[in-house]
Amino acid sequence: MEISGNVDNLPAVTPLRTTFRYLGQFAVVWLILRSIRPVACALKSGHEQQVNDFRRLVRRLARLAFIGFTVFLTAGCATISPRNVLPEASASQVELEGYHNIRFWGDAPAREIEAIVMADMPKSGTRSPLASERQPAVSNLLAISGGAEDGAFGAGVLVGWSDAGTRPVFDLVTGVSSGALIAPFAFLGRDHDSQLREIFTKYGRKDIFTYNVSGLLEGSSLTDDAPLARLIAKYVDDSFLQEIARERLKGRILLIGTTNLDTQRPVLWDMGRIAMSNNRDAITLFRKILLASATLPGVFPPVRIQVRVGGQDYDELHVDGGVTRQVFIAPSLSPFVSRDQKPGRPARKSRLYVIRNGKIDPEWQSVNENVLSITQRSISTLIKNQGIGDLYRIYSVTKREGIDFNLASIPSDFTDTSKEPFDQRYMISLFDRGYDLASHNYSWAKAPPGMDLATQAHN
């Protein structure tokens, strides 16, 4: 099994791309001419504020000129290799060669998913996470949301939780987007806290992606995520995979969510099964799934995953798991919930901890009445409320199953702002805030916003 590449360099230049190239040059020239008047005023007045404004303008014009020049050079240099798309009728017959039961649809019936997740437990010597006579008194579950650079909050919470001495070993860990990058380290425990701290405090935007100007014209994204792929490969090595496999053999489960764009469905990957598969390409697939889960569509290039149906090779297109789920738990929690107890044995409790890498409360902001500002604000509002909706869904499951619900999110009084995507200064500050909260007896919320009041009213 192999993950295909995203982009091939081809020499063809179409008339359409030539048109875009000239439009890019025209835009830069127009912006320069439009700026002549304020530049002249700044030079003439000599006032300090206007001079500073002029300096900023010069820097901005230099960047625009560079972008225009890059567009001129690269328009027509990049295109996307053709896909061999999996037919709709074959979507349920997919195989990944050399693997067994490593993934399932996130919206499939719970009983089907439970059967897949627990299928090989007898082979591993553990019938289920509940089977051992020496089982702990509590089953602990962890779900980590997406949030891009806000993932620094979740990383800080986990490290601070460890240093407080109260962080449990989790029977189930799930992750989406930036939460997918945190989840494997959270799964392996506090011995990997130093790596988790490093990932979210040592690196900045240039270590995550570089801008891809040609993507504006005909590419699949605005950036190149090769730096992020290298970062994942640095930390996810063979020994890391072996640790994941050992924990899966104990019955502990690590699930990462991606979105299959062709089917518009969430896909949940059993990362432990991939790690214990002994497939020579396992580490490549493991890394690619983490990359795919963090791939914001249009911003980062999608990840192609090769599959086989009826002896024929096809490809699937996978992107950020947050497109379909901002945060999730296993659709079936039956393996982690104890109902039938032996006489004399106390009932085993189940606790779910959800780390929402974002603010839940509404945030006021003055929005400029232009297309860009309105679109950005609308999308961010949509994402926030989708995430809250996912919390409601999870909360309803825990109430049905009798699981103790616990929620952490970025506090509303955290007012630092990010100057650019993955601003290192911002991530350090947010990591420190999460660490400080968790290391000082953090009070987890017992319900999503509004649900505690609704529950009280119902009762």
**374-405 per-position pLDDT tens digit:** 988 898 888 888 889 999 999 999 998 899 99
What is residue 372's predicted lDDT score, i.e. its pLDDT? Answer: 85
The answer on 119 and 72 residing in a single domain is: no
Instruction: Among 250-264, 377-391, 412-426, name the one with the lowest average pLDDT.
Output: 377-391
Q: Are strands 265-270 and 253-260 parallel, antiparallel or unpaired?
A: antiparallel
Give residue 54's domain range: 7-80
Residues of the chain with pLDDT > 70, as a percent, come to 69
**Most trustworthy range by pLDDT among 57-61, 132-136, 217-221, 277-281:** 277-281
The pLDDT tens digits for 21-44 are: 445 545 545 555 555 555 555 555
Residues of the chain with pLDDT > 90, as a percent, come to 47
The answer on 272 and 123 residing in a single domain is: yes
Out of 80, 99, 120, a domain closes at: 80
CATH code of the domain covering residue 423: 3.40.1090.10
CB–CB of 148/141 below 8 Å?
Answer: no
What is residue 36's predicted lDDT score, i.e. its pLDDT? Answer: 52
Closest to 355 (Cα-Cα) out of 413, 422, 431, 259: 431
- 82-107 as b/e, with b when 16 or more CB fall inside 10 Å? eeeebeeeebeeeebeebeebbbbbe
CA distance 145 to 99: 27
Name the more confident of 132 and 430. 430
What is residue 188's predicted lDDT score, i.e. its pLDDT? Answer: 98
Q: Is residue 104, in this structure, part of any structural domain at all?
A: yes
The answer on 117 and 14 residing in a single domain is: no
> pLDDT band for position 211 (50/70/90)?
confident
Residue 241 has pLDDT above 50, yes or no: yes
What is residue 126's predicted lDDT score, i.e. its pLDDT? Answer: 45
Q: Is residue 73, in this structure, part of any structural domain at all?
A: yes
Q: Mean pLDDT, to the nearest integer, of 352-356?
A: 98
The answer on 159 and 249 residing in a single domain is: yes
What is residue 423's predicted lDDT score, i.e. its pLDDT? Answer: 95
Q: Is residue 345, in this structure, part of any structural domain at all?
A: yes
Q: Mean pLDDT, to the nearest integer, of 130-149?
A: 77
CA distance 232 to 445: 32
The whole-angstrom distance between residue 299's C-alpha and the CA centroid of its chain comes to 13
Structure tokens at 407: 């929620």
The answer on 55 and 146 residing in a single domain is: no
Q: Is residue 2, in this structure, part of any structural domain at all?
A: no
* Alpha-carbon distance values, 455 to 80, 395, 444 (Å): 51, 11, 17
Q: Is residue 426, in this structure, part of any structural domain at all?
A: yes
CB–CB of 7/78 below 8 Å?
Answer: yes
What is residue 230's predicted lDDT score, i.e. its pLDDT? Answer: 96
Residue 127 has pLDDT above 50, yes or no: no
Out of 37, 56, 80, a domain closes at: 80
Residue 315 has pLDDT above 70, yes or no: yes
The residue from 150, 225, 270, 320 that is catalytic is: 320
Q: Is residue 1, in this structure, part of any structural domain at all?
A: no
What is residue 420's predicted lDDT score, i.e. its pLDDT? Answer: 92
423 labelled catalytic: no
The answer on 70 and 104 residing in a single domain is: no
What is residue 458's predicted lDDT score, i.e. its pLDDT? Answer: 39
The residue from 139, 162, 177, 221 that is catalytic is: 177
> pLDDT band for position 17 (50/70/90)?
very low
Q: Is residue 62, in this structure, part of any structural domain at all?
A: yes
CA distance 454 to 450: 6
Residue 91 has pLDDT above 80, yes or no: no
Name the more confident of 406 and 63. 406
Residue 132 has pLDDT above 50, yes or no: no
Instruction: Among 91-95, 199-203, 373-377, 453-457, name the one with the lowest average pLDDT.
Output: 453-457
Instruction: Among 50-64, 161-175, 184-198, name the one with the lowest average pLDDT.
Output: 50-64
The answer on 282 and 168 residing in a single domain is: yes
320 labelled catalytic: yes
The answer on 20 and 119 residing in a single domain is: no
What is residue 334's predicted lDDT score, i.e. its pLDDT? Answer: 66
Instruction: Among 226-240, 343-357, 402-416, name the one with the lowest average pLDDT.
Output: 343-357
CB–CB of 176/257 below 8 Å?
Answer: yes
Domain count for the chain, please give it: 2
What is residue 214's predicted lDDT score, i.e. its pLDDT? Answer: 63
The answer on 59 and 32 residing in a single domain is: yes
**Most trustworthy range by pLDDT among 95-99, 189-193, 381-385:** 189-193
The answer on 367 and 248 residing in a single domain is: yes
What is residue 1's predicted lDDT score, i.e. its pLDDT? Answer: 38
The answer on 242 and 268 residing in a single domain is: yes
The answer on 432 and 340 residing in a single domain is: yes
Backbone dihedral angles phi then psi of residue 243, each to the nearest 5 degrees: -65, -45
Closest to 258 (Cα-Cα) out of 221, 236, 232, 288: 288
What is residue 64's predicted lDDT score, i.e. its pLDDT? Answer: 54
Name the more confident of 147 and 5. 147
What is residue 63's predicted lDDT score, i.e. its pLDDT? Answer: 59
Out of 41, 57, 80, a domain closes at: 80
Q: Is residue 233, in this structure, part of any structural domain at all?
A: yes
